[in-house]
Copies of this chain bind each other. A is one copy, B any other.
């Protein structure tokens, strides 16, 4: 039960991770040894040696004199996704919902107190937000996240709110702890969460939690679309009904697995 471990880390590994982070930002173009060394505050020789070992192990590739991340990460990343229990269970339902509603549908999971976009399906008229598979988003900022946050074990919700704070994303984002707790209470009552431009201006969403046998949320599914289309009865009745039906099916399958 440690909030933050002060134990001395393996510094060499940390620099390697930092290096990978820098290369991620560099994107497809990649970066050269000198530039990387400067960015990390390392000697060129050190950066060079790190890069060589990472190339040898296949984590990065070298094209000319610039290095970039390799598809090693794709391999590991997809592996992580495929092995998540919700992936196989939720994917067909997410596809179904997207086809029925023509909106963007997401499956989100909770990991380490934040929300991770596990799988998304695109309907015909879907809005294209900047959300991507793998994206990490604070739970209080969006419908699926709030649905999860409202159904976590007692202590965890408080720890997240108090520990991480409530960062603002749009003017509508809930940043007041008291307000959020009230919202979470009503989410628990009605079974689903709404998001009215709290994460992206002009976008509304509905989210419902996927709970395990003990009622703990392990993830959520959400439907998102343009604010002027998702409103009134559609937003507060029809879509929640549809969503809750789908989520319920997922929960049943989850229990039997």
Listed in ascending order, the chain A residues whose CB lies under 8 Å from chain B are: 5, 7-10, 12-14, 16-17, 20, 24, 27-28, 49-50, 52-59, 61, 69-71, 73-85, 109, 111-112, 116, 118, 132-136
Question: How many copies are assembled?
Answer: 2
* Sampled A-B contacts (6; CB under 8 Å): A9-B56, A10-B49, A10-B50, A69-B79, A74-B78, A78-B132
Indicate whether A73 sits within 8 Å of B69 (C-beta atoms), given known contacts A12-B10, A52-B5: no
B134 lies within 8 A of A75 (CB)? yes
- Which residues of B lie under 8 Å from residue A56 when comparing CB positions? 5, 9
Tell me the minimal C-beta distance from A115 to chain B in angstroms: 10
- Which residues of B lie under 8 Å from residue A16 when comparing CB positions? 10, 13, 16
B53 lies within 8 A of A116 (CB)? no
- Which residues of B lie under 8 Å from residue A8 when comparing CB positions? 49
Tell me the minimal C-beta distance from A56 to chain B in angstroms: 6
A17 lies within 8 A of B76 (CB)? no
- Which residues of B lie under 8 Å from residue A57 when comparing CB positions? 14, 17
A74 lies within 8 A of B116 (CB)? yes
Indicate whether A28 sits within 8 Å of B132 (C-beta atoms), given known contacts A13-B54, A75-B77, A112-B58: no
B135 lies within 8 A of A75 (CB)? yes
Cβ-neighbour of A49 out of B7, B59, B78, B81 (below 8 A): B7
A50 lies within 8 A of B13 (CB)? yes
A14 to B132, CA, bound (A): 30
Tell me the minimal C-beta distance from A95 to chain B in angstroms: 10
A71 lies within 8 A of B80 (CB)? yes
A20 to B132, CA, bound (A): 24
